[in-house]
Structure 1
Amino acid sequence: MKSETDAPVKATRVSMDIVQLLRELDGATTMEVANQLGLPRSTAYDHLRTLEKLELVVNDDGMYKVGTKFLEFGGYARKKKKIFEIGKPELQELAEDTGENANLMIEEHGRGVFLFTAEGENAVELDTHHGYRVHLQTTALGKAMMAHMDEDHVREILERHGMPAITDNTVTDEEKLFKQFNEIREQGYAVDFEERVRRMRCIAAPILDDSDRARGAVSISGPKTRMLGQRFEDEIPQKVIRAANVIEVNMNYA
């Protein structure tokens, strides 16, 4: 797997590593940042103070946390995505119709990015907030998109990010993954059997352009006790495929 620390400007890389660490730890002191990232305490302090001055992090009595200014950047980036504006009402309808979690994902830099999520009346609380990034092969959404990418591009993504096991059911074998791609293209949707979140199942359909390349994917996820039988094998897939198709038409021809 290729290193992700080969950014041309080291200082920028360090600052972003610090922001990522603050997110993962839900806040950290200067010493904790220095120890976790192997930095001199003075270097960690200088970066944290700079980030604070730029209003990107906040200092709560020595505990640094990610600031809400990132919401401004994220909100702007999402607003500029046509797929978000078109997909949002379809996701809301899907969530209301099924009572479950409805999700919209795009691929960026080889990761799956949750662009929008909507919750039905029976939806469970998940970690898939807007902007959350995951390994593509761990979700039905990601697999639905990968099935419609160039094979070389998929292999580049796998080489760069690997195929980590998030649960016991995560697909970690490349040959098995590519075999699933054939099934996804044939049936029109992808399935996730507790591959990223235990006891949760998901069905996703790709959003394609005129060349059958994935622009994103839409899904319904819910507890495995509710994602069974006819509902899981027919009703949910049809609803997801329909929503993806509506988004496709509006994306390509509106």
Structure 2
Amino acid sequence: MTSQDIGEQSRTIRSVEIALNVIDVLQRRTDVGVTELADELGHSKSTVHSHLRTLEERKMIVRDGNSYRLSLRILDMATYVRDQVGNYEVIEDEVESLAEETGEIAQFGIEEFGRVSYLCKATGDRAVETASRVGTQQPIHSTSLGKSVLAFLPEEERDAIVDGIDFVRVTPNTITSRTELVEELAAIRERGYALDDEENIEGLRCVAAPVRDGNKVLGAISISGPSSRFTESVLHGELADYVQRAANVIELNTKFS
């Protein structure tokens, strides 16, 4: 590869990065114009304007006066991505049923880029709302969904993810070492479900069970709620039973659909 090729490749990658950063900002903020985007991204207004024009031509964003927003094409792309997950309707039905039965928050997550990504979420009638949203990600080692998936991945894949974890303490209960996490994952494999004991959010506990198809881990399903209701006996008793039954339903429909 020549120096010219390397330079051109670097410019192309940088251009894509700027465009994606523009989309990230528009996802977080409303009524954002060229000046605000340029200030936040640290690029000239002319550079940002060029990317905005390109994104607008590709119908990824919409101009509204002097401001920009994401277009509905993003929603179409998100729907397409969601539907690539096998048996999404079965997953959605089980998540909604779990939320209705327990009155709490029920969620389904999958592993992406060494983190847990939320695919589906439903809220029961007595749920305490959390910051998690469909499409967002959380650390894999401090959530019951993440640990549930991680525990049952093939050893080589699991080790690679664990090697890349930045063990940042979020709460006093967050796992902060590889040794502690490896021990926890072994316990999860033995009992068949994972816990988040106020490890990601103080006052919030979760229990999750993996959804598997043979040796493949499709994801995990969880229930989340306040620690005042999610006592030790309830977590390890009826709530663990709930998520394991829901996981079994998804597995059966996956295997025999």
SS of the residue corresponding to residue 116 of structure 2 reads strand
**Pairing partner for 2:59 from 55, 70, 77:** 55
Q: Is the 8 A contact 1:7 1:13 kept in 2?
A: no
1:72 aligns with 2:76: yes
**Pairing partner for 1:124 from 123, 128, 145:** 128
Once the two structures are overlaid, the 10-residue window that deviates more, 12-21 or 60-69, is 60-69
1:64-104 CA-to-partner distances (Å, cap 9, x unmatched) read 33333211111111123214222121111111110001101
Query: Cα distance, 1:177 vs. partner?
Result: 1.0
Question: 1:26-175 alignment to 2 at 5 Å?
Answer: 26=30, 28-160=32-164, 162-175=166-179
Calculate the TM-score normalised by the size of structure 2: 0.86
1:224 aligns with 2:212: no
Query: Cα distance, 1:253 vs. partner?
Result: 2.5
- Distance change (3 Å), C-alpha of 1:231 and 1:148: same
Number of aligned residues:
248
Larger radius of gyration: 2
Question: 1:2-13 alignment to 2 at 5 Å?
Answer: 9-13=13-17
CA distance in 2, matches of 1:241, 1:185: 13
Question: Aligned-residue CA RMSD in angstroms?
Answer: 2.3
Query: Cα distance, 1:205 vs. partner?
Result: 0.4
Identity of aligned residues (%): 34
Match of 1:17 in 2: 21
Unaligned runs of 5+ in 1: 1-5
1:238 aligns with 2:244: no
Query: Cα distance, 1:232 vs. partner?
Result: 2.0
- Distance change (3 Å), C-alpha of 1:92 and 1:45: same
Unaligned runs of 5+ in 2: 1-9
- Distance change (3 Å), C-alpha of 1:200 and 1:58: farther
- Distance change (3 Å), C-alpha of 1:16 and 1:159: farther
Calculate the TM-score normalised by the size of structure 1: 0.87
Letter matched to residue 84 of structure 1: Y
CA distance in 1, matches of 2:26, 2:120: 23
Query: Cα distance, 1:15 vs. partner?
Result: 0.8
Query: Cα distance, 1:139 vs. partner?
Result: 1.0
Query: Cα distance, 1:33 vs. partner?
Result: 2.4
SS of the residue corresponding to residue 209 of structure 2 reads strand
